[in-house]
Amino acid sequence: MTKIKICGLYRPEDVEYVNEAKPDWCGFIIDFPKSHRNLTPDRVRVLRKRLAPGVTPVGVFVDSPVETAAALLNNGTIAAAQLHGHEDERYIAALRSAAPGCTVWKAFRVRSPADLEAASASTADLVLLDNGYGTGEPFDWSLAGGVKRPYLLAGGLTPENIRSAIQTLHPWGLDISSGVETDKQKDLNKILAAVAAARKE
């Protein structure tokens, strides 16, 4: 069964929606003011307390200090750190040193086979293949056949195209945000539809 993450929660209602839909993970975008879904670490801690057991919280970071991600991992606010900036292998190693036993995900912007080679070689626990971090558009899915490890597919996913994505690419999991929004706010019905589509046999 394909796993699914609902990313970009920023309101109490969003947490209630994922509590009802029960995706595998939910994502909080932390200290990235360019996003309308941006949250401070303190705000993430508040929302995290509302999260139902069984939905794993992931912190999404863009070139944040190692200490920021490590603190949230170490105190249990998040269970994984998803890196969306220019974080390199040294950053990943430093994060693992600062938060022993932590789970690290790394996103790769897919433009060419070389990007998939980098994703395949990453020491991250899981890689995410994306179009460009929040564009809401898919990358050229024909490129995805070059990755040699389990990955999360992101970018341009909607409840309507999830089945096609799964049947075409067979990703280990999906990461969806704008595709389950209406007017830049999470939509319960779209979240429910997306989770159902991902889990349909």
What pLDDT score does 136 carry? 63
pTM of the model: 0.95
Chain segment 133-176, per-residue pLDDT in tens: 555 667 777 777 768 899 999 988 999 999 999 998 999 999 99
Which residue is catalytic, options 7, 14, 24, 102? 7
Q: 130 an active-site residue?
A: yes
39-67 in b/e form (b: 16+ CB < 10 A) is bebeebbebbeebeeebbbbbbbbebebe
Chain segment 52-90, per-residue pLDDT in tens: 999 999 999 999 999 999 999 999 999 999 999 999 999
Architecture of domain 3-199: Alpha-Beta Barrel (3.20)
What pLDDT score does 134 carry? 55
Which residue is catalytic, options 14, 31, 130, 175? 130
Phi, psi of 144 (to 5 degrees): -65, -15
What pLDDT score does 128 carry? 95
Choice between 1 and 145, residue whose per-residue pLDDT is larger:
1
Chain segment 92-144, per-residue pLDDT in tens: 999 999 999 999 999 999 888 888 899 999 999 999 998 865 556 677 777 77
What pLDDT score does 142 carry? 77
Helix (H, G, I), strand (E, B) or coil at 140: coil
Q: 7 an active-site residue?
A: yes
Count of CB atoms situated within 10 Å of the CB of 79: 15
Phi, psi of 187 (to 5 degrees): -115, 115
What pLDDT score does 58 carry? 98
What pLDDT score does 131 carry? 80
What residue segments make up the domains of the chain, in order of their start?
A: 3-199
What pLDDT score does 135 carry? 57
Contacts of 81 (CB under 8 A, 6+ apart): 58, 59, 61, 69, 72, 73, 95, 99, 102, 103, 104, 105
What pLDDT score does 102 carry? 97
